[in-house]
Amino acid sequence: MADTQKPLAREPRPADPAPPEGLMKYRTILLFGAPGSGKGTQGKILGSIPNLFHFACGDAFRNLRIDDPLGRIFVEYSSKGRLVPDEPTIKLWAKNIQASTLDGQFNPETDMLVLDGIPRSVNQAEMLKDTLDVKAVFNLTCADPAKMIERLQRRALRENRLDDANLEVIKERLETYERETKPVLEFYGPRLVHTIDSTQPPLAVVRDILAVLTRA
């Protein structure tokens, strides 16, 4: 006689902070560097080029409403110069990329992602390794910390950014970069990492980036 026992119900899958399974692997370049190194400037220039889609994680957090749970988390950490925890950061990134795909801003079939501000830790890089097909990492360097601080303070006045306004917070952000974010360069390795002097004029920096991309 046939077994009429009902199949066991599957247990619900635990929430995953990473992008949902099934997403295609995105062709990606990463803009890297300490706060004030010029990532945002280069991201905006590159994002104006057809088939390059710029996503700045910090801007996405700043655009959240203060009553949004992720917005409150961002203010709590950024006001102290600390990194937002990995899971909320990846969650916000995945949400924005999916929304940009649905509304037609980003076409994964034809466009390359230009990521600025993510991944910011080795753990984030691990969480994204099955989602990103990283073609190049551009490490924007500035040997003069005073110049980076000056850039950040000018930006604070221009854009009313609280995380750039306080000198102590800026110093904490620079230390956090050295301690938590810079090791991500080792995660991707010398084959993918290209070091570029960001003290050059912005157009010279983007020229150097595009010279690498044409060979990628």
pLDDT value of residue 192: 97
- Cβ proximity of 31 and 115 under 8 Å: yes
Concatenate the DSSP letters of all residues of 25-74 into one string: PEEEEEEE-STTSSHHHHHHHHHTSTTEEEEEHHHHHHTS-TTSHHHHHH
pTM score of the predicted model: 0.81
Which band of pLDDT confidence, cut at 50, 70 and 90, is reported for residue 163?
A: low
Mean pLDDT computed over 154-164: 70
> Which helix (H) or strand (E) covers residue 176, if one does?
helix 167-176
CA distances from 104 to 96, 107, 198 (A): 12, 7, 32
Instruction: State which amino acid sits at residue 109.
Output: E
State what percent of residues in the chain have pLDDT above 90. Answer: 55
Can the peptide bond before residue 119 be classed as cis, meaning omega within 30 degrees of 0?
yes
Looking at the DSSP bridge assignments, the partners of residue 14 are: none
Give tens-digit pLDDT for 62-109.
777 777 887 788 778 877 778 888 998 999 899 999 999 999 999 999
Between 7 and 158, the more confident residue is: 158
- pLDDT tens figures, 137-155: 999 998 888 888 888 878 7
The reported pLDDT for the residue numbered 154 is: 81
Percent of the chain with pLDDT strictly greater than 70: 85
pLDDT digits 0-9 by tens, 107-126:
999 999 999 999 999 999 99
